[in-house]
Amino acid sequence: WIGILTLYLVHRGKLDCPGGVLLSSYLIVLIILLAVIIGTVSAIVCVSMKGTICNPGPRKSMSKLLYLRLALFLPEMVWASLGAAWIEDGVQCDRTVGNGIIATVAVSWITVASTAVIIVIVFDPLGGKMAPYPPAGPHHLDSHESSQLLNGLKTAATSVWETRIKFLCCCIGKDDRTRVAFSSTAELFSTYFSDTDLVPSDIAAGLALLHQQQDNIRNNQEPDQVVSHSPESSQEADLDAELENCHHYMQFAAAAYGWPLYIYRNPFTGLCRIGGDCCRSRTTDYDLVGGDQLTCHFGSILQTTGLQYRDFIHVSFHDKVYELPFLVALDHRKESVVVAVRGTMSLQDILTDLSAESEPLDLECEVQDCWAHKGISQAARYVYRRLINDGILSQAFSIAPEYRLVIVGHSLGAGAAALLTIMLRNPYPQVRCYAFSPPRGLLSKSLCEYSKTFIVSLVLGKDVIPRLSVTNLEDLKRRILRVIAHCNKPKYKILLRGCWYELFGGHPEDLPTELDGGDLTQPLLGERSLLAHGSPAYSFSSDSPLESPSKFSCYPAARY
């Protein structure tokens, strides 16, 4: 608005060109229109600063302002269209004025388009409520009618999330596996957010408060008593050996990512080291490993592992939903056949991660209740089929029959490697797995116990992935609801204070905590305003659909 006003005031004397009167009128109307929009947005900002997250009463006029702002998009689009048509006819006035008009039209369309995209992604047509129950409660509805209503709303919520995910992942194809992943991911998100009425800024405010609350509790706690415990010599030797193995095999897990991770780890010299391989034409060396589109990838793999071309049995960077890249190599130093599975590095991998419901595993072992993360188990099955049906492992052991099988991976690849190890346990009893930062919600409890003898997991510090599971996210959601309900500050103050605290530190806010009033089994009054009526969390029961052990796996792989 300031730019257009300045353009008009400074250059209005140069608008005596052909069509200058029309151009002058265009700028005047655009200045007035933008002034009205700025006034509306300013009113929205002022109203949104009133009240608290749990007390929306002072913001009751917000809906009218939002509808007014939405209505102003119509003249804004019309005026932007007129400006585009005028530009199409050619700018015959002063060049500065013409460039200013072109920039104005471009910015107008960018604003309209970006707002439309945000509305498609963020807007919830269901209003964040699971069911419009009457004041008397859901028990006044007929059970069949209530069931139909709930099922209809769940289907609608899943459909909304599926539309959002398809929009965000529009460039990854539409095969059957992708459609299944879209549906699975949409069901996860719709189930997770079905019993709350939170917007993204509420979640951000809750995370900021929760961080300060945890720091406040930590600062006020007495230091834990330090108990020194020296392991026995045999245990210490075993630990040292495993750590040395982890250090060695981590290079294979890193190599599976190809050239992007190599360049990231070697920003100044990486490109020079693998540049020759990137430009080199395809040779028989590449055909021997069965790879496709290797080029820079193969060069980075050789640099990371220190192996030779002839040491690789197979390298694949085929990447689709439920299908992960992997490599198979002969490690002569440790006398092992190494299978390394790549972790998350694409939208397809993210969809694999988010297909988080459990599915049964058909294993030839005596373990009961064999359940695992659906997306990761599908990816492990894909690698298993390639290794067995394509004869890749048979080829490797025909070259080195005395070697043992070792499977490694990082992040998503660590989860796939762990499940692949369990699948290969019967034909290869000596198989060993080293999983670096595997996801937590991977296995059922029985499979977790079974895997402790042959899978080793390594977690570094406060890495979030080994702590990430649907049940932990459900617990995080409840903690966010609780800390928001305790706070009586406006959201903008929470967010400003949270940003300052994250950037510059300082003393955490002295907030009430769950420890102050004993164990609260029922949600607070303010907390109820954030929960959808009739949802399991509304009564703070433990029957949340996300906490069903048969629906979502809760345990990580192996021992740490």
Q: Is 518 exposed, middle or buried (0-12, 13-18, 19+ CB in 10 A)?
A: exposed
Q: Return the DSSP state at 549.
A: T
Nearest-CA neighbor of 69 among 91, 38, 94, 47?
Answer: 38
Q: Which of 184, 377, 411, 451 is the catalytic position?
A: 411
Spell out the residues 6+ positions from residue 442 whose beta carbon is closer than 8 angstroms to its own.
372, 373, 376, 415, 418, 419, 553, 555, 556, 557
CA dihedral (259, 264, 267, 269) in degrees, to 10, reads -40
Residues in CB range of 147: below 8 A, 6 or more apart: none
Backbone phi, then psi, for 172, in 5-degree steps?
-110, 15
Sequence-ordered list of residues with C-beta below 8 angstroms from that of 111, at least 6 positions apart, any chain: 76
Tell me which residue has tokens 């080291």.
273
Q: Which one of 175, 240, 463, 510 is the catalytic residue? A: 463
Residues 6+ apart with CB under 8 A from 25: none
- DSSP 3-state of 143: helix
In the annotation, is 411 catalytic?
yes
DSSP letters, 374-438, are HHHHHHHHHHHHHHHHT-HHHHHHHH-TTPEEEEEEETHHHHHHHHHHHHHTTT-TT-EEEEES-
DSSP alpha helix (H) spans, 487-529: 491-504, 525-528
**What element of type H or E holds 339?**
strand 336-341
Parallel, antiparallel or unpaired: strands 404-410 and 336-341 = parallel
Q: Give dist(CA 550, CA 357) in Å, integer.
A: 9
Cβ density class 191-214: b for 16+ within 10 Å, e for less: bbbbbbbbeeebbbbbbbbbebbe
H, E, C per residue of 367-385: CCCCEEEHHHHHHHHHHHH
User: What is the residue whose two structure tokens read 């009430």?
Assistant: 512
What sign for the dihedral angle of Cα 256, 260, 261, 266?
positive
Question: At which residue do the structure tokens 């007929």 appear?
Answer: 142
Name residues whose C-beta falls within 8 Å of residue 528's C-beta, 6 or more positions apart in sequence. Answer: 538
Give catalytic residue positions.
Answer: 411, 463
